[in-house]
Amino acid sequence: MNLLQKMNAKEFKQLLDFKATYPTLGEDLVKVLSTKTLAIQLTLGECIDLSNATGIRIAESCNQIFDTFKSKP
């Protein structure tokens, strides 16, 4: 069973709404979710797209990860 089939109804509806608003991004996300079977297989970019589609806030965590690679004096 792929990730799209495993989605909760609420998040699936949000994904469809996102796809209607952003057809290209939404279609790419649907394709990704249709081909992967475990959430751990998602790339960081795919997780960010999914968070945007579902309203799950992960940006703060991502910023902390990105900050790890900034040079500090």
Helix locations, the chain, DSSP H: 3-6, 9-21, 23-35, 44-54, 59-67
pLDDT of 48-65, one tens digit each? 999 999 998 887 777 788
pLDDT at 20: 97
| Domain edges within the chain | 3-67
pLDDT at 34: 98
Q: Is the pTM of this model over 0.75?
A: yes
pLDDT at 64: 80
pLDDT of 3-45, one tens digit each? 999 999 999 999 999 999 999 999 999 999 999 999 999 998 9
**What does DSSP assign to residue 65?**
H
